Structure 1
Amino acid sequence: MLSIKNICILFKSGLLFILISSCNSNTSSNGIIIATAANMQPAITEISSSFSKKTGINCKIVVSSSGKLTAQIKEGAPYNVFVSANMKYPREIYSQKLGLTSPKIYGYGKLVLWSAIDSITPSTSLLTNSKIKHIAIANPKTAPYGTAAIEVLEHYNLYDSIASKLVYGESISQTNQFILSKSASIGFTAMSVVLDEKIKKIGKWVALDSTAYSPIAQGVIIINQNIVKNKNATAFYEYLFSKEGQEIVKKYGYSINE
């Protein structure tokens, strides 16, 4: 079993920090780079693959927390589309005149409580149990799902009693590693993660009451680069909002209208 310390070392070394996958191995100079929040990785992988097949436009996906991606965009990272886990960061990008158009909501995320340990049936009441030593949560300073998780804990008046158990991941991706490795007995993550075909049969999860946290309105923005890149990025943006694209978004547990 990987310890939390070892996972953090991997994370800092970059193995878990940014995941880059190609929608097409023959990425051309006209291809685009999609920076996506970790919770959207399964959905964006499927959407971009379908988009590439239809248009011939190649995609690369860069995955990290919304806050980290925002910082990279400000530093000049060559991303063409930014798929965020909230609206705050795309608005920040737009306010700095780095966006081609104003950001738009593509879906609303849902928070779940998940454990990879078969003997555990997740529930908020279980969090105070002495057998639960570590609870994984995304960093609320950079990851919107972490913010939502804190809101849930405060809603049920649990935060003070379990604060010492919380183990923070820099994104949902690292948080998931804590849960999957069983270094954390249980943790908060996005519904899209547990609906991923590669993960959906692992452990148990429960959807949390959506009234216990603020709506997770997730936004996308096109990053202004050059004429060709902007044209192809706009094509992807439009596909994300197409009927087919939105059906894939819903497939991973997001709601379209809140």
Structure 2
Amino acid sequence: MIIFLCLALMLSLSTAEEITVAAASNLQFALEEVKNNFTQETQWGVKTVYGSTGKLAAQIKSGAPFDIFVAASTAEPESLYTNGLTNGAPRIFTYGLLVLWTLQDADLSEGMAVLKNPRFKKIALPDPKLAPYGKAAVTALQKEGLYEVLKTKLIFGDNITQTAQYIVSGNADIGFNAKSIVLSGPMQGKGHWVEVDSTLYTPIRQGVVQLKYGAEQHPEASKRFLEYLFSKNAGEIFKKYGYRL
């Protein structure tokens, strides 16, 4: 009897559905914790694919087999919804925060004004055409009257991850990134960072949608994962990584 139950359990685990979640790069550490908890609670597996929100949206429009799209904005999910590629309108599950970050021994207490210091010759940020955090950084620079002054120093990463690599490797002297990245385990304690005044950029509303593919191929598992993002457990993880709910 015990052997039979063990075999039945092994069979159920081996045949459990696995969904694929396309997610913005700023979520790479927080979402890994969320998905692991989800799998422990439900036995459904979750494969994550990270990239810039813009590039992931383009892949979805080209037919990529993703079940859920977890974006760094609501604009791209809304566009997918308008084009009939989602099962419902996007929902905001969290708000992201922008930081200024350097590995140099620098005092960042004056905020973005520090960027005028000639020691900072290369300033990294995500590509504003692809990444909402990059768009937020450009908006903040413009509102502070710094964009035209500094634009020749700007270098662009495809996404949050590549931008972080520029900063950590020293290819950039300083840069803009997501608060969730500087609070992640691998990055904690590296360099100095300060939050960018959130009144200087449009709130980074991070939206999620169940895609048509997920609704058709893995309806229950993908819907449960979407709902799990709004659970108390997931919320605590997001807050730990600096997101606002």
Deviation digits for residues 225-246 of structure 1 (CA, Å, limit 9, x no counterpart) = 2545121010101111011111
SS in 2 for 1:197: coil
Aligned CA distance change for structure 1 residues 166 and 28 (closer, same or farther; 3 Å):
farther
Following TM superposition, by how much is the alpha carbon of 1:29 offset from its aligned partner in structure 2, in angstroms?
Answer: 6.8
Amino acid at match of 2:23: T
Q: Distance in 2 between matches of 1:227 and 1:150?
A: 39
Q: Which residue among 243, 255, 258 is the counterpart of 2:232? A: 243
State the TM-score, normalizing by the size of structure 1. Answer: 0.86
Greater than 2 Å deviation, 4+ residue runs: 26-29, 120-123
Could you say which residue in structure 2 is the equivalent of 1:120? Answer: 106
Amino acid at match of 1:120: A
Alignment check: 8 A CA contact 1:30 1:228 kept: no
1:149 aligns with 2:156: no
Amino acid at match of 1:202: K
Could you say which residue in structure 1 is the equivalent of 2:205? Answer: 217
More helix by share: 2
Aligned CA distance change for structure 1 residues 57 and 213 (closer, same or farther; 3 Å):
same
Q: Which residue among 170, 178, 184 is the counterpart of 2:158? A: 170
Q: Distance in 2 between matches of 1:206 and 1:28?
A: 46
Alignment check: 8 A CA contact 1:27 1:59 kept: no
Q: Which residue among 16, 28, 34 is the counterpart of 2:21? A: 34
Q: Distance in 2 between matches of 1:230 and 1:70?
A: 20
Alignment check: 8 A CA contact 1:90 1:103 kept: yes
Could you say which residue in structure 2 is the equivalent of 1:232? Answer: 221
Within a 5 Å distance, the mapping from 1:104-115 to structure 2 comes to 104-115=91-102
Gaps of 5+ in 1: 1-25
- Percentage of pairs with the same residue: 41
Give the greater-gyration-radius structure (CA): 2
Could you say which residue in structure 2 is the equivalent of 1:135? Answer: 123
State the TM-score, normalizing by the size of structure 2. Answer: 0.91
SS in 2 for 1:167: strand
Give the paired residue count.
Answer: 230
Amino acid at match of 2:81: Y
Aligned CA distance change for structure 1 residues 27 and 37 (closer, same or farther; 3 Å):
farther
Aligned CA distance change for structure 1 residues 27 and 78 (closer, same or farther; 3 Å):
farther
Within a 5 Å distance, the mapping from 1:20-99 to structure 2 comes to 30-99=17-86
Deviation digits for residues 135-177 of structure 1 (CA, Å, limit 9, x no counterpart) = 0011001100001001111111011111000000111111111
Alignment check: 8 A CA contact 2:97 2:195 kept: yes
Alignment check: 8 A CA contact 1:27 1:58 kept: no
Aligned CA distance change for structure 1 residues 161 and 62 (closer, same or farther; 3 Å):
same
CA RMSD of aligned residues (A): 1.4
Amino acid at match of 1:35: A
Alignment check: 8 A CA contact 2:16 2:43 kept: no
Amino acid at match of 1:106: F
Aligned CA distance change for structure 1 residues 95 and 27 (closer, same or farther; 3 Å):
farther
Aligned CA distance change for structure 1 residues 108 and 184 (closer, same or farther; 3 Å):
same
Could you say which residue in structure 2 is the equivalent of 1:4? Answer: none
SS in 2 for 1:184: coil
Following TM superposition, by how much is the alpha carbon of 1:43 offset from its aligned partner in structure 2, in angstroms?
Answer: 1.0
